[in-house]
């Protein structure tokens, strides 16, 4: 099959890690008989240098026309890079918000998986880490408290700030459907997280999620209060498969879930739209401190490309092959500097990409 991928190397280590993800996609293409056609798109600091804006209209159009978007990272260092002398809406990170909005990405997926070989990096007690975990947080990305009306005013002579948390049933339904579809590709278990003992928005959330669940009889649905979920993530992370939640709860819980894996260079993410188009990127940033040295860990980007195969292209077998190759590389003791441990072999960014390709 043929797939058109918009590729956004971006800034810092972006070009290095994206090059390795492309290498891996090409290997998948060779092995399974697919063609990935890449179109490079400028975003972030490099786009400011070339076009004066962090995301041009043409760049957004190219991304919209593609089957999926693969992104490295954008951004530099405040006080060092001249991009940060520009007003906020023209800085590199503004391009990220613009592309997410422009592509209508309302679902954010952040997997948290504990590799056997990296258990020592897990900050949880050994007895908990021993059981391992493999979950994905599905977070609503365009509604709720971060997008509601807000104001700060004086009420009876006292400064008073108000933020509003609004969800309508359609917004809840579309993210719930995504979560159940994802669960069908995983272990068929959804834990929906809310604060229904207090919030109206959560009570509507629960009602709509129950309605959606009726269409997925194979998936087990449980409801969990957000405060309990925050505790369960560090007490018994093995119980989670798909965590479905609204914007702010998801913001906090996805950071907590990624923290317990202990390795930033391993964390992939995806943001999905109503259809099949998605944007796939590592959870880490542009790491300007190590850019251009061939020492960045490309695994988060490679795993993001695997998510692209699974969720935008429905190539589950191919995604499994990439994930298995990453596991094999770790089992074989091959490490980049950030996850290096005694007795292992250290490789650079491109060496890691090669090692993963060899195992596909």
**Residues making contact with ligand NAD (CB under 6 A):** 13, 73-76, 93, 96, 264-265, 281, 284-290, 296-297, 300, 338
Query: What backbone torsions phi and psi does residue 234 show, to the nearest 5 degrees?
Result: -100, -15
Closest approach, Cβ 347 to ligand NAD, in A, equals 12
Q: Residue 281 and residue 104: Cα distance in Å, rounded?
A: 16
| Residue whose CB is less far from ligand NAD, 208 or 253 | 253
Closest approach, Cβ 9 to ligand NAD, in A, equals 11
Which neighbouring-strand residues pair with 3? 36
Known active-site residue 146:
yes
| Residue whose CB is less far from ligand NAD, 74 or 326 | 74
Closest approach, Cβ 96 to ligand NAD, in A, equals 6
43 to 46, 101, 135: CA distances (angstroms): 6, 14, 30
The single residue of 227, 236, 316, 320 carrying the catalytic annotation is: 227
Closest approach, Cβ 341 to ligand NAD, in A, equals 15
Closest approach, Cβ 217 to ligand NAD, in A, equals 37
Closest approach, Cβ 274 to ligand NAD, in A, equals 22
Spatial neighbors of 172 by CB under 8 A, at least 6 apart, are 140, 204, 205, 208, 209
| Residue whose CB is less far from ligand NAD, 62 or 283 | 283
| Residue whose CB is less far from ligand NAD, 76 or 237 | 76
37 to 28, 152, 265: CA distances (angstroms): 13, 49, 26
Q: With beta carbons less than 8 A apart as the criterion, state whether 124 and 230 touch.
A: no
| Residue whose CB is less far from ligand NAD, 122 or 212 | 122
Q: With beta carbons less than 8 A apart as the criterion, state whether 35 and 2 touch.
A: yes
| Residue whose CB is less far from ligand NAD, 277 or 300 | 300
232 to 71, 90, 146, 208: CA distances (angstroms): 32, 40, 25, 24
Known active-site residue 251:
yes
What are the catalytic residues?
Answer: 146, 195, 227, 251, 255
């Amino acid at each position: 099959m043929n797939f058109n991928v918009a590729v956004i190397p971006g800034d810092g280590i972006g070009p290095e890690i994206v090059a390795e993800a492309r290498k891996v996609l090409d290997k998948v293409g060779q092995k399974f008989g697919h063609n990935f056609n890449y179109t490079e798109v400028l975003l972030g600091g490099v786009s400011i240098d070339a076009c004066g804006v962090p995301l041009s209209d043409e760049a957004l159009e190219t991304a919209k026309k593609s089957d999926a978007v693969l992104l490295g990272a954008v951004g530099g260092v405040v006080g060092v890079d001249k991009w940060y002398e520009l007003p906020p809406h023209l800085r590199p990170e503004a391009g990220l918000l613009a592309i997410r909005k422009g592509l209508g990405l309302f679902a954010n997926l952040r997997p948290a998986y504990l590799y056997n070989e990296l258990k020592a990096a897990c900050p949880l007690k050994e007895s908990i880490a021993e059981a391992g975990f493999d979950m994905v947080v599905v977070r609503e990305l365009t509604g709720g408290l971060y997008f509601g009306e807000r104001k700060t005013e004086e009420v009876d002579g006292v400064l008073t700030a108000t933020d509003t948390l609004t969800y309508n049933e359609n917004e809840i339904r579309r993210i719930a459907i995504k979560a159940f579809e994802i669960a069908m590709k995983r272990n068929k278990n959804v834990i929906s997280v809310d604060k229904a003992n207090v919030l109206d928005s959560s009570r509507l959330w629960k009602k709509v999620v129950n309605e959606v669940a009726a269409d997925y009889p194979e998936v087990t649905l449980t409801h969990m209060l957000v405060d309990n979920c925050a505790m369960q993530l560090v007490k018994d992370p093995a119980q989670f498969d798909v965590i479905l939640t609204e914007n702010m709860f998801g913001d906090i819980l996805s950071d907590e879930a990624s923290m317990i894996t202990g390795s930033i260079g391993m964390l992939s993410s995806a943001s999905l739209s109503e259809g099949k188009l998605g944007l796939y990127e590592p959870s880490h940033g542009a790491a300007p401190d190590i850019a251009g040295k061939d020492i960045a860990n490309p695994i988060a980007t490679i795993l993001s490309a695997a998510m692209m195969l699974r969720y935008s292209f429905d190539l589950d077998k191919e995604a499994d092959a990439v994930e298995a190759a990453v596991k094999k590389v770790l089992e074989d003791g091959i490490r980049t500097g950030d996850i290096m441990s005694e007795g292992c072999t250290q490789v650079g960014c491109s060496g890691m990409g090669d090692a993963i390709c060899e195992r596909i």
